[in-house]
Amino acid sequence: MRAPRLFFLVVFLLGFPVVSIGAGSEVIEVSVARFGSARAPGGATEPWLEAELVLAVNVPPDSGSRAISRVGVALTLGWELPATAGGFRRMDYYRAEAECVALATGRANVRFYLPPELVKRDQLRGTPKLWTVDLTVAGQAIPAAKANQAAALADGSARRAFLSTAAAAALANAGLLLPQYLTPFAGEYPRATPSFVRRETLGHAPVRAEP
């Protein structure tokens, strides 16, 4: 069941960022970025903020592989918040990452969410003022293309400055921007949602009940 949504669409038709791995050149790009509201399944009334990243994936026939393994997707947001009484506008920063097990040629949708309490408190709606998407393959960074960020960050120096600021500022909001699999939307949109590498339980031994 698809959750009701109101989307603000950002579409890019730009060149592909390419990373060479093995025998071929695997191509992954952010073709569409959508930011909007979504109500969680089960009758929830308060909307979450949903960021949907549509990845276009091409695995060259001569690469010797049917899929690109370990594709990392990191989303960084910079929200300009309304000014409080007698105050000034300020920026809030959020960052989250997800790692796809493998992506075959075609489309893959990776989603992140901010919870309804933040949406209501900070009046989050539409597209954030600043945002970037960083892609990696097996830990190797894919060079950023213009489609991977807000228009205001198209200049390389502006992008680097934003990421530098966000790296420190987003720590205050760690754990608030969530990948889809950690939200009530985990079972939604099964058609184009990839499987993800899960690490949140690694290193924790099961608790045994005492006899």
Give the per-residue pLDDT at 51: 98
Boundaries of every domain in the chain: 5-182
The one-digit pLDDT tens for each residue of the chain (211 residues) are: 455 554 444 433 333 344 444 334 558 989 999 999 999 998 888 999 999 999 999 998 887 888 999 999 999 999 998 777 777 888 999 999 999 999 999 999 999 999 999 999 998 989 999 999 999 999 999 887 778 999 999 999 999 999 999 999 999 999 999 999 999 999 999 888 999 999 876 555 544 544 4
Spatial strand order of the sheet with 140-141 comes to: 90-104, 67-81, 130-137, 140-141
Residue holding tokens 């502006």? Answer: 158
Distance CA 133, CA 16 (A): 14
pLDDT at 145: 78
Task: Supply the pLDDT for residue 20.
Answer: 43
d(CA 106, CA 192) in angstroms, rounded, equals 9
Residues 148, 149, 150, 153, Cα dihedral to 10°:
-130
State the Cα–Cα distance between residues 185 and 177, nearest whole angstrom: 13
**Residue written as tokens 């918040």?**
81
Radius of gyration of the chain (CA): 18
Residues 172-192 have pLDDT tens digits of 999 999 999 999 999 999 888
Q: Beta strand pairing status for 24-39 and 90-104? A: unpaired
